[in-house]
Amino acid sequence: MKILVCISKTPDTTSKISFDSSGKKFIEEGIQYILNPYDEWYALVRAIELKEQLGGEVHAIHVGSGSSDMVIRKALAIGADIAFRIDAEPIDSQFTSTQIAAFAKDKSYDLILLGKETIDYNGSEVGSMLAAMLDMTYLSYANKLELDGQKATAHLEVEGGVEVVETNLPCVISAAKGMAEQRIPNMKGIMDAKKKPLEVLSPVPYTPTVEYIQFILPPSKTQVEMIAADDIDRLVSILKDDLKLF
């Protein structure tokens, strides 16, 4: 079983988000970067569990500059065997997909796993694009994944419930909460990670298909209207007249 896990780095959830005055550039100063939780907790850990169960290798791939090496080492500490970094700052999701597809196309992976989204751009786009570029089947938002021979069975989050599906490997699967339990790297893992290979590769040429015009911060909430706890009449009138709920 040869599994590729796509890992991304994202600002920590608690980060204050700001942009320069042109609105074009995200201000990185003071930002703490983490391994994207969906990639780490679910996709990577499930890949490692499958390797423990079935044997094989887990490869991690990241598209980013040298400043990402910290989060890549974490993936190695959790249990990936080898990591690859495409040395380029991602411009958009198709850029990232193009780079990963170019890397993976002749490597005969049985399974490519990634988080259902990154918590910064929330696009859910890379998995879908990557699958199309590699001409592989794509299962999105899986919260459970089992392999049996060349068959994958997954529980997918759909509107209002879960759909159980089967498909043949190789395929690309995006991971949602529930696919695995978070693992904290132990001391041995952290020491081993320093010796594991982290290969740096050059990006392939790319022509963007979308232009980022600007980023905008949402208007700050106007002052919250506080209603006294015993003023049920006002509360009812808000629900009925302002919000028109009944």
Binding positions for another protein, 165-204, rule CB under 8 A? 165-168, 177-178
Q: Are strands 82-86 and 57-63 parallel, antiparallel or unpaired?
A: parallel
Site residues (CB under 8 A) for another protein, limited to 20-79: 37-38
- Contact window for another protein (CB under 8 A) among 55-63, 77-85, 159-167, 183-191: 159-167
Is residue 131 near another protein by the rule CB under 8 A? yes
Q: What distance in Å separates the CA atoms of residue 240 and residue 246, rounded to the nearest whole number? A: 5
Pick from 1, 34, 147, 162 the residue near another protein by CB under 8 A: 162
- Among 93, 99, 109, 170, indicate the residue that binds another protein (CB under 8 A): 93
> Is the Cβ of residue 55 or residue 246 nearer to another protein in the bound state?
246
Q: Does 216 bind another protein (CB under 8 A)?
A: yes
Q: Establish if 241 lies at the interface with another protein (CB under 8 A).
A: no
Quote the least distance from Cβ 143 to another protein, whole Å: 8
Establish if 159 lies at the interface with another protein (CB under 8 A): yes
Place of tokens 């499958």: 50
Residues 174 and 114 sit within 8 Å (Cβ to Cβ): yes
Backbone angles phi, psi at 83, to 5 degrees: -125, 150
Task: Give the CB-side neighbour count of residue 140, counting CA atoms within 13 A.
Answer: 13
- Find the shortest distance in angstroms from Cβ 235 to another protein: 6
- Reading the block at residue 219, the tokens are 């208007």
Task: Please identify, using beta-carbon distances, which residue of 68 and 93 lies nearer to another protein.
Answer: 93
- 8-16, 57-65, 102-110, 191-199 -> range binding another protein (CB under 8 A): 8-16
DSSP letters of 122-159? ----HHHHHHHHHT-EEEEEEEEEEEETTEEEEEEEET
What is the spatial distance between Cα 2 and Cα 129, in angstroms, rounded to a whole number?
21
Q: Which residue has the tokens 């390797």?
A: 51
Q: How far apart are alpha carbons 57 and 37 in whole angstroms?
A: 21
Segment interacting with another protein, rule: CB under 8 A, options 78-86, 102-110, 153-161, 187-195: 153-161
Stretch that binds another protein, among 1-9, 58-66, 68-76, 207-215 (CB under 8 A): 207-215
